[in-house]
Amino acid sequence: MPLVVAKNLTKFFESIKAVDGINLKVLRGKITGLVGPDGAGKTTLIRLMAGLLIQDNGELSVLGLHMPKDTFEVQSLIGYMPQKFGLYEDLSVEENLNLYANLQSIDKKIQGHRIDELLEFTSLTPFKSFLAGELSGGMKQKLGLACALIKKPQLLLLDEPGVGVDPISRRELWRMVKELISEDVGVVWSTAYLDEASHFDDVILLSEGKILFQGKPKKLTDTMQGRVFKIVGDIKDKRKTLKLSLSHESVRDGIILGNKIKLICDAKEHLPRLEEIEAQNCRYEDENPNFEDGFINILGGNFDGTSALANQMQETTITNQFFIEAKNLTKKFGSFVAAESVNFEIKRGEIFGFLGPNGAGKSTTFKMLCGLMTPTSGISYVLGQSLEKSSYKSRAKIGYMSQKFSLYGDISVLENLRFFAGVYGLKGKIKEKKIADMLDIFDLKKYQKTASKNLPLGYKQRLSLACAVMHDPTVLFLDEPTSGVDPITRREFWNHIYAMVQKGMTIMVTTHFMDEAEYCDRIALIYKGVSIALGTPHSLIAQVSEDATMEEAFIELIKRSDNGKT
């Protein structure tokens, strides 16, 4: 018997149909994936299954019980891990587990054993006395999963558990969940990481509350056979070649992947001539499609390589040899070394990726570079000046988008834009035009009166980027800018990034999406506060194997560092 059955399930929020006549089944011992753009209805659907929302129309049964009539009985039998970290940050790991055990009425005689079992299962035993707020992103997600499992559930609902989590921690989450389904637990897992989709037994693709696809992931991937190609060879200017390729009507999508360019086209004979796209010394080869290709295609993704954001920016006239420099940057918090002797130099118009596991020291290094944190030793320069000592005018040439949503949640989108425009010294007609441009470019008009804390995650990220670039910075720091956003929005962000660097902007970016690492010109890999690798994406991959993926290279280089081989 299916664990979940929905028939014509519908949920309104005022005039918006968040879930629109959905029919689906979730099976025992299977992982059912929910994917879709921001605002597609994934979280609403999971919250309906968890009994946290009541449907307006249709039928929903969970574990053979009828919702909403049997909500309390269902909630005693399921596990639910929300998208937002919902634990108590000022309690320890063990105290959080004790609290959830008491809330779930776990018998005191077995409570201690169950908590010890979960601490071992999630590898959190050495950290049980740590405050939850002190944990890395990956550890927080493991603790959230442990709390969801405190009463062995028949159905586990995971709402984007991998958001902001590095590839190593995501693999650990997958290992733990696969152990659960071997015990006949059913899992519903929503995700923004489409590389995870291939691991699902079944996938449901949602858009605007409707199901666009339901079935095995490979079935959607196979719809793109014969439509995915790569340009390989001596590409003179990859970003220019990509832009020229996307300007052709036959090319639907494209992205730079290390030393090659991937293109989506209806047929090989419709690809542009290599001479037209300034790739004379190159060739086309067939490329294996992936789930993301099918996902973007079914959603009608069609990118032409233009960026309205970059188009309204002036090209930078600054000619420094290096726009960003880190010289022996070190930051200590007591005896803990967050960053140790970090060194690199970044040129004008370069996209520099900064990779590492959660807690590796990426955000700490970012904050030192931006002048938001004083280094214990070493020095950083941005545009030839130390931001610790520089004037407001120097600081006004940089933009910074932080890892966590750092805008003012209680004020509207429009009020946030007005505030940051004022902070950056924009005035009068220039200020009003820039605000209007940001609302239009990032599709924020429909939300302009909405409190920013109530925005869907993808729109929060759009607003954060808008506020970071509205003053046309010369240097832009992006700390996980696409964390949790859907692939369409990610592609839009990178389209803007490519176009902005062609205007001379220098961009430093952190990411947990390993395909995004290949979009960068160079990468620094930081681990335990130390830079363990630096080079082009292709050179880092080649250190492991010519056939390795970026994720495999990431994990292997970290393993080598642990073993003292780098």
The 8-class DSSP code of residue 105 comes to: T
Average of pLDDT values for 136-163?
A: 84
- Rg value, the chain, Cα: 24
Two structure tokens written together for 447: 């939300």
% pLDDT > 70, the chain: 97
Whether 342 shows a pLDDT value over 90: the answer reads yes
Whether 173 shows a pLDDT value over 90: the answer reads no
Integer CA distances (angstroms), 563 to 340, 534, 559, 560, in order: 19, 18, 6, 5
Q: Which of 75, 88, 22 is nearest to 47 (CA)?
A: 75
Give pLDDT, residue 566: 53
| pLDDT confidence bin for 33, thresholds 50/70/90 | very high
Q: Which of 154, 194, 150, 149 is nearest to 29 (CA)?
A: 154
C-beta of residue 140 within 8 angstroms of C-beta of residue 88: no
Whether 452 shows a pLDDT value over 70: the answer reads yes
Choose between 457 and 552: higher pLDDT. Answer: 552
Say how far apart CA 189 and CA 200 lie, in whole Å. Answer: 9
The 8-class DSSP code of residue 523 comes to: E
Out of 23-32, 252-261, 450-459, which region has the weakest mean confidence (pLDDT)? 450-459
pLDDT tens digits for range 272-288 = 999 999 998 899 999 99
Coil, helix or strand at residue 19 = strand
Choose between 458 and 155: higher pLDDT. Answer: 155
Give pLDDT, residue 506: 95
Say how far apart CA 517 and CA 537 lie, in whole Å. Answer: 7
Average of pLDDT values for 331-352?
A: 92
Give pLDDT, residue 343: 94
Average of pLDDT values for 242-266?
A: 92
Whether 292 shows a pLDDT value over 60: the answer reads yes
Give pLDDT, residue 360: 82
Average pLDDT, the chain: 89
Q: Which of 358, 357, 326, 354 is nearest to 340 (CA)?
A: 326
**How big is the chain, counted in residues?**
566
Give pLDDT, residue 505: 94
Whether 216 shows a pLDDT value over 90: the answer reads yes
Give pLDDT, residue 430: 93
pLDDT tens digits for range 438-448 = 999 999 999 99
Coil, helix or strand at residue 151 = coil
**Domains of the chain with CATH codes:** 4-217 (3.40.50.300), 226-288 (3.30.70.100), 319-397+475-533 (3.40.50.300), 408-472 (no CATH)
pLDDT tens digits for range 190-215 = 987 787 888 899 999 999 899 999 99
Give pLDDT, residue 389: 67
Say how far apart CA 378 and CA 327 lie, in whole Å. Answer: 6
| pLDDT confidence bin for 1, thresholds 50/70/90 | confident
Average of pLDDT values for 226-249?
A: 93
Choose between 116 and 406: higher pLDDT. Answer: 116
Two structure tokens written together for 389: 């000592």
Whether 27 shows a pLDDT value over 70: the answer reads yes
Give pLDDT, residue 405: 65
pLDDT tens digits for range 383-429 = 888 876 665 666 788 898 887 767 888 899 999 999 999 988 899 99
